[in-house]
A = this chain, B = another copy of it.
């Protein structure tokens, strides 16, 4: 069967987003449901691929189908493309399967030329409007299709307005527009060497081609990368009859959300401009009126619109982002799509929709991207500290951000790459600024509303944004901006609060986040659904408490080395390490014992009743010692000094430095990651683990005596051979018995191991003999499975690998299912085959990554453990994994039922 390249909106029965793009599918869907959509047709995403494959050319087949569709449009409207009396005008817009607002090209008013403009002037009885439309078309077409920079046209327009002293575009007369048009056409001829194409069919084909080509323009590529959208989707093209919001004061155009996309409140939210075309709203050039005003200006239209909004929300079962135009008192919907929203709004909307019965809880849970939750747990502004608010704009995307002012997207990227936090300040942003927004902590604009480019894009990325802050006077040329008397220059520190619109001088104080009611509700729903447990990685009572408040069911990884690093312990730790006799070492360990006991007491108390997995000392000992290079430098300096100016002091200092250096050097390692650490320390220096085990058990005993329910679990790191674990288990059990004997208490303490080197995974059946639990240390397991040192790889080649797609993702962020994941599955299967009740968890950073969590759920693990702030993300991800599982199963059952 040959492919069909073109579909009229009214001939589509089941709108397929992949084929028609999001916009095309929506327009067809709305048409099908009788909504007031201007007629038109869609050229498919398949045509996009075919167009590119044919060398950026429309095939004869496509041309034929486009002709047919245009004829149908002409027949339906009674107008003809290019007609000198009653011309049909169309818009040509992109529409990919996944919405990429503003990233690709659009051409409006197509079909105008010297003849048809007269027809338009006649039928509308409005020559000013007709010629304005013509010049808009030329400008847009020239920029989008012919690639002529916009400033050529802006200059001409400015000159014309200055010359005639017009206050704005609206004041320009038809005659002046004709002059402007002539100048525009001269620019085109001069820039391209050819006249502007006046034949409407040529215009149409060129515009369609340009939209297809725009799929591959650089800003679209950046957007796709940021939003992880596949390169292979392609875009469809929608050709639609033009309706005009700029036909006078009974006309207008606007954009509205069925709920507030920033807060999630259930209120119609949007903006419109009277007597304007759509791009005037989106580009943020004129500041529009709030949608509520429409109720008084055009009550009937407003009521119709409210009713349509409700209808659309119920139909799509989600908040809609709607473009509408009013042409001489008649309402048209040009587009509807699921609205982009802030993370805060996403949570509230999902919960509200579920409560309203529009969607079920599972759908509510599935709607959210787990990583969005991260934003909600970012610190917010501490209002108790006085703020120097210098201006207030629109609260376009919530969250607090601070950074050095930058006026240019390239510069923002450059500074951010060098590690500076920047805040991008622009009069208005355009799609060309996308990389600057990615690089910035937040965005501040002086023009444009809540639906302007900056606002939409920032919300999509979860970046704080304040829009339309018109107190700000930006002089981009001079690289400064003024707010009243204050002059700000590049590099000045400024903060914004995207939740209130405030702009503040200097840095701000932040306070830890809390969870909103909707958030809490969502988490409860997630917990109902998920089967995977969620613990946190925490080393202090404070972190443990925070984790618990975010819903952690235990501590999956309590690292004991961080405790060793505390300034009051480090000297004792160093004494212990550098001890030359067993007595000295025992003495230092005895002084460390009460400190460690206090550590464990605090954490076990904070997690009362919940399991706390305590990992015995893991890193190589030299991490606790002075830096080798510094000692080398110091020794060399002292030697030189001694040779030039001998003193007793220098000689003593040199002796001391050399002594320390030789000890540090003896502990130095070529590859510390693979060196003398983990249980290798435990086996060669058992007194250290002994002390730690004693501290755990003494703290446990004390808590039990005080009426608590401590649940410690002891974890042996870096086991590669069962014999290592067997011996360390013996040691820990011995100490446990000793403490229990002294305190005349009995308590059970599970003893397990990290699975973090491939050999442990491969011999998991043997290791399971001596383990009550496995905890996958996926960071180290990734290092050893790939043979990557994370410290070196990320700076030296991993970036290039991901960039150039040697690897699809950074394996330290998202688990490598084929390699590392294979070992996780092998170890789980072999471990459980040997010991069916073996508890399996993950304590690498992957425990806080959605895709990885989904894999761990599928692999049948018992829990993941992640940093406290990622606990909600993990709870949601686990719920989503369970829901996906159920969906798959249902699909599976359904399929099976069909077969039988």
Contacts and interface: CB of A to CB of B under 8 A. Distances in A.
Interface string A640-656: 11001100000000000
Interface in A767-822: 780, 783-789, 791-793, 796-797, 800-801, 804-807, 816, 818-820, 822
A758 B807 CA distance: 16
Contact of A785 (B683, B758, B788, B793): B758
A723 B721 CA distance: 32
A411 interface: no
A670 B794 CA distance: 12
A823 interface: yes
A721 B786 CA distance: 8
A57 interface: no
Interface stretch (A169-177, A574-582, A673-681, A699-707): A673-681
A823 B635 CA distance: 46
A550 B370 CA distance: 64
A627 to B, nearest CB: 10
Contact of A683 (B672, B680, B806): B806
B673 A789 contact: yes
Contacts of A675: 789, 792-793, 796
A573 to B, nearest CB: 19
A715 to B, nearest CB: 16
Contacts of A634: 636
A846 to B, nearest CB: 16
A224 interface: no
Contacts of A820: 759
Given A787-B757, A787-B784, A723 B807 contact: yes
Given A640-B637, A640-B640, A784-B785, A792 B629 contact: no
Contacts of A797: 676, 680, 683-684
A763 B821 CA distance: 11
Interface of A: 628-629, 632-641, 644-645, 669-676, 680, 683-684, 718, 720-721, 723-724, 727, 756-759, 762-763, 766, 780, 783-789, 791-793, 796-797, 800-801, 804-807, 816, 818-820, 822-823
A544 B676 CA distance: 37
The 3 A-B residue pairs with the shortest CB-CB distance in the complex, in nearest-first order: A671-B789, A674-B789, A757-B787
A138 to B, nearest CB: 44
A635 B637 CA distance: 9
Contacts of A793: 674-676
A721 B798 CA distance: 13
Given A644-B644, A724-B806, A787 B718 contact: yes
Given A632-B633, A676-B797, A762-B822, 19 more contacts: A628-B629, A629-B632, A632-B632, A634-B636, A636-B636, A637-B637, A640-B640, A644-B644, A671-B672, A674-B787, A674-B792, A676-B796, A720-B785, A756-B787, A758-B784, A758-B787, A762-B819, A762-B823, A766-B818
A150 B763 CA distance: 52
A817 to B, nearest CB: 11
A314 to B, nearest CB: 47
Which secondary structure dominates where chain A touches chain B?
helix
Contacts of A818: 759, 762-763, 766
A780 B787 contact: yes
A718 to B, nearest CB: 7
A338 to B, nearest CB: 35
Nearest to A668: B792
A787 to B, nearest CB: 4
A728 to B, nearest CB: 10
Contact of A669 (B789, B800, B806): B789
23 contacts: A629-B629, A632-B632, A632-B636, A633-B633, A633-B635, A638-B640, A640-B641, A670-B792, A671-B671, A671-B791, A674-B792, A674-B793, A675-B796, A680-B797, A683-B800, A720-B819, A721-B806, A723-B806, A757-B785, A759-B786, A759-B818, A759-B820, A762-B822
Given A640-B637, A675-B793, A792-B672, A759 B785 contact: yes
A639 B644 CA distance: 13
User: Which of A640, A645, A783, A789 gathers the greatest number of chain B CB atoms within 10 Å?
Assistant: A640
A671 B669 CA distance: 9
A636 B640 CA distance: 9
A721 B718 CA distance: 25
Nearest to A766: B818
A669 B791 CA distance: 8
Contacts of A805: 723
Nearest to A635: B633
A141 to B, nearest CB: 41
A784 B823 CA distance: 13
A669 B669 CA distance: 12
A727 to B, nearest CB: 7
A897 B84 CA distance: 102
A816 B759 contact: yes
A164 B415 CA distance: 102
A591 to B, nearest CB: 26
User: Which of A638, A671, A763, A823 gathers the greatest number of chain B CB atoms within 10 Å?
Assistant: A671
A34 B551 CA distance: 87
Nearest to A791: B670
Nearest to A620: B792
A823 B758 contact: yes
Nearest to A826: B762
Given A797-B683, A818-B762, A819-B759, A676 B792 contact: yes
Contacts of A672: 670-671, 789, 792
